[in-house]
Chains A and B, each alone.
Chain A
Amino acid sequence: MKIHEYQGKEIFRRYGVPVPKGEPAFRAEEVGPIAERLIAETGIPVVVVKAQIHAGGRGKGGGVKVVKGGPAEAQSVADKMLGMQLITKQTGPEGQKVRRLYIEQGLDIARELYLALLVDREQRRVAIIGSTEGGMDIEQVAHDTPEKILTLHVDPAIGFSPFLARKMGFALGLGPTMKGPLGQFVKLLEALYKCFTQEDMSLLEINPLVVTKGGDLVALDAKVNFDDNASYRHPEWKKLHDADEDDPVELAAKDAGLSYVSLDGDIGCLVNGAGLAMATMDILLNHGGRPANFLDVGGGATQEQVKTAFQMILQSGHVRGIFVNIFGGIMRCDVVASGIVAAAKELGLKVPLVVRLDGTNVELGRKILDDSGLLIQSASSMGDGAQKITAAVKQAQA
């Protein structure tokens, strides 16, 4: 689960990680008074208006504006930014609508660094990644100048040790003495590690972490992802969730216990298991078809879930055919078949449907389909099914 920058910074504050003063705003008229407060509190006449969307690359897309003209100008900048479709390299071409802003004090920046914590799959430990090249696309830095990135790992049995921070801090040029920024960095990293582990984060990225002209370390950005598997022990995450950032269809699927991703083809897919669902998309491609979605009904789906899945496919307007591919393990083929029949009867089936069932209770499942009176083509294998559905869709178009 992703959260917004301002929410991440609120968590940082709780752990004693230095962040600039700032307040979120949902309407333009809130922005003038916020800017006024920030200017009065900090004595700095500059504020920054930042669009709050989950995608990165906001600055380049026009989602971050430095305002030097005071509260009135901040408000007018905010007015333009709220409601705009912000397009960044992570949003896709349609962009993401800006509904929330974060108004922050301006800072005099001397240096920009990069700092991140994440779970390193290969080392099976929390990794601390730092670079002197802050404010840049870190994947680009990793590609062009890998020597400018330092990665350290934390032993989970020991937890954070200050030497890790010293090692990283010297490498980031925060010395030469332990006073000043390096001393601050040791405290900051200890706080971040505690924050990362206690809050069950899967990613914590600060890009940039800045050294101000006054010599202070400040987290200028905060990108935080939580580990969804840990949601049971974090009821507070519900309040941090921003449903506007989710695809409504994918969200509805999640609520029904399904895994769904919209794609741009015209053959709807209903499959059990993520691997088989991906392979089903692949085999459609092999036969010249194009999948309209990725849909995994899971290992133990109920008849009701199958029906919901079927509804979702039928409701997506551009579907010209449906391919059901089930290899029943825990999931019984008769349950799938009953769900399909119930959904098709209730919703009306106007496009070709090819069903491939295999595994547990397959004969019973096929019988339910055959006896349903519905026009369903049965497939003997995955390849046979892919061929039948692509042919049927082509024929319907001709």
Chain B
Amino acid sequence: MSILVGKDTRVVFQGITGESGTLHAKACLAYGTKIVAGVTPGKGGQKFEGAVPIFDTVEQSVRETGAEVSCIFVPPAGAADAIIEAADAGCRFVVCITDGVPVLDMVRVRRFLEGRNTKLLGPNCPGIITPGECKIGIMPGHIHKQGKIGVLSKSGTLTYEAVGQLSALGIGQSTCIGIGGDPVGGLDFIDCLEMFNADPDTHGVVIIGEIGGSAEQRAAAWIKANMKKPVVAFIAGRAAPPGKRMGHAGAIIAGGKGTAAEKIAAFEEAGVQVAPSPADMGVTMRAALNAAGVSA
């Protein structure tokens, strides 16, 4: 088991014939993801890699192939429209990898998703992977290992770092999710924690946050009130000076708020073990599992 995606998940790639869509669709296929359809308006009837049927609309792809999850590699100007199209076609889960989507477009998308049974991950995120079963995104598949730990993060490469450390210690992962760092997006920390908490095959969670905003503090409060499994955290940006934006749109300490110290304190207060160094995420998880008497 896992959350959101697994070995039977039927995936459609929107923007499959674009440069990055092609590159990553190939890598996901090679990993074993069941990509049952691609969508590129005007290229309906063609085949991707000689095997995956391409459709003009998401609705056709859902009807013809039973696709239920969409992965979006459409450029920023069309990304919001692509998410809305996937939701309208009835996809239960949409993963939007596209970086650079205007925030007001995302405000409209979120409004459209209200009351619908479509979950959104991203935009500007590395995607989601259930090791050994289904990879929907741009992460390197080979560093992952099947197992029982959920990994949850705003960052891409820092997630790979955490996964690499866990795998090297022999600790596998149930599902790894990068929620992205955009100001307005889909699933947040708490949405994912709820799913990990309810998943019987997830035995612990690594959560990776960063400076700026208050999502980590809210996640900590939720963990304190609800979480039944060991959680380990790391907060990036302790060395970042105030007022400077560190790459991600949200990664800025403004008005003395959103500091790493504040977030670390919130997690510790919630009983979460905070890794003192980014090199210690794996060993901190191992210690937390041992302390809780939980198997990895």
| Chain B binding surface SS class | loop
List B residues 76-119 near A (Cβ within 8 Å). Answer: 76-77, 100-104, 106-108, 110-111
Structural contact, B140 and A157, CB atoms closer than 8 A: no
List B residues 249-288 near A (Cβ within 8 Å). Answer: 250-251, 255, 260, 276-280
Chain A CB within 10 A, most for which of B161, B184, B244, B248: B161
Structural contact, B161 and A279, CB atoms closer than 8 A: yes
Does A323 touch B at the CB level, under 8 Å?
no
Structural contact, B138 and A330, CB atoms closer than 8 A: yes
A81–B226 alpha-carbon span in the complex (Å): 58
Does B126 touch A at the CB level, under 8 Å?
yes
Structural contact, A282 and B236, CB atoms closer than 8 A: yes
Identify which of A57-65, A164-172, A267-275 touches chain B.
Answer: A267-275
Structural contact, A294 and B246, CB atoms closer than 8 A: yes
Structural contact, B103 and A202, CB atoms closer than 8 A: yes
* Given contact pairs A119-B103, A125-B107, A382-B161, A278 touches B213 in the complex (Cβ within 8 A): no
Does A233 touch B at the CB level, under 8 Å?
yes
Give the B interface residue count (CB, 8 A). 59
Chain B residue nearest to A265 (CB atoms) is B239
Chain B contacts of A275 at CB under 8 A?
153-159, 181, 208, 210, 236, 247-248
Does A108 touch B at the CB level, under 8 Å?
no
Partner of A281 from B159, B213, B240 at Cβ < 8 Å = B240
List A residues 164-201 near B (Cβ within 8 Å). Answer: 197, 200
Chain B residue nearest to A201 (CB atoms) is B104
Chain A residue nearest to B107 (CB atoms) is A156
Does B238 touch A at the CB level, under 8 Å?
yes
* Given contact pairs A272-B157, A327-B157, A359-B140, A121 touches B255 in the complex (Cβ within 8 A): no
| Chain A binding surface SS class | mixed
Structural contact, A274 and B246, CB atoms closer than 8 A: yes
Chain B CB within 10 A, most for which of A124, A139, A284, A382: A124
A277–B236 alpha-carbon span in the complex (Å): 9
Q: Give chain B nearest CB distance to A180 CB in angstroms.
A: 33
Chain B contacts of A263 at CB under 8 A?
239, 241
A360–B45 alpha-carbon span in the complex (Å): 34
Q: Give chain A nearest CB distance to B160 CB in angstroms.
A: 5
Chain A contacts of B104 at CB under 8 A?
119, 126, 156, 197, 200, 227, 230
Partner of B239 from A291, A300, A328, A329 at Cβ < 8 Å = A291
* Given contact pairs A119-B103, A274-B251, A275-B236, A329 touches B161 in the complex (Cβ within 8 A): no
Does A46 touch B at the CB level, under 8 Å?
no
Structural contact, A156 and B108, CB atoms closer than 8 A: yes
A381–B277 alpha-carbon span in the complex (Å): 12
Does A358 touch B at the CB level, under 8 Å?
yes
Structural contact, A299 and B103, CB atoms closer than 8 A: no
Chain B contacts of A126 at CB under 8 A?
104, 107
Does A283 touch B at the CB level, under 8 Å?
yes
Q: Which 10 residue pairs across A and B have the least CB separation, nearest first?
A: A275-B155, A274-B247, A273-B157, A383-B279, A275-B158, A279-B278, A281-B239, A230-B102, A278-B236, A276-B157
- Could you give 6 example pairs across A and B, Cβ below 8 Å? A155-B111, A273-B158, A275-B247, A276-B236, A278-B239, A282-B239
Interface residues of B (CB under 8 A from A): 20, 23, 76-77, 100-104, 106-108, 110-111, 126, 138-140, 143, 153-161, 164, 181, 183-184, 208, 210-211, 213-214, 234, 236-241, 243-248, 250-251, 255, 260, 276-280
Interface residues of A (CB under 8 A from B): 90, 92, 119, 121-122, 124-126, 139, 155-157, 197, 200, 202, 227, 229-230, 232-233, 259, 261, 263, 271-286, 291, 294, 296, 299-300, 327-330, 358-360, 381-383, 386
